[in-house]
Amino acid sequence: MDFSTNGAEYIDQTAGVSRIGGNLALYKRLLGRFVEGNHYEELERAILNGDMENAALLAHSLKGVSANLSLVKISSITVELEQLLKNNADHSLCLDELKQAYSITLEQISEILG
């Protein structure tokens, strides 16, 4: 596994593996579960349905999961998105930024999982 800084803006693999005691196989399994989780789709659906309370909870959950896996970009964006949703503020730009970061992160996870 290449732990270079390439892509570290989105995924800090070194920190992620370190966070779970250096177990690379477990880290990869957790990344696979993240991909299967469809977190962004659930969040977007809640927003489209006007359920901002649930959307804020989903953003909070995504923030925690992404932080635990060291999915750096998603984690940082969801900090802001959660607050915007809780305050019923304009979240459209933040959601667009999250959608892009989520897509890039999934591509990078696919490369990690090989």
pTM above 0.75, yes or no: yes
pLDDT surpasses 70 at 41: yes
Position 2 scores a pLDDT of 41
Give the model confidence (pLDDT) of 44-102 as tens digits: 999 999 999 999 999 999 999 999 999 999 999 999 999 999 999 999 999 999 999 99
CA–CA gap between residue 23 and residue 81 (Å, rounded): 31
* HEC-encoded secondary structure of the chain: CCCCCCCCCCCCHHHHHHHCCCCHHHHHHHHHHHHHCCHHHHHHHHHHCCCHHHHHHHHHHHHHHHHHCCCHHHHHHHHHHHHHHHCCCCCHHHHHHHHHHHHHHHHHHHHHHC
Mean pLDDT over 9-34 rounds to 96
Domains and their CATH numbers in the chain: 13-113 (1.20.120)
Q: pLDDT category, 1, cuts 50, 70, 90?
A: very low
Least confident of 3-12, 27-36, 95-104, 105-114: 3-12
**Does residue 8 carry a pLDDT above 90?**
no
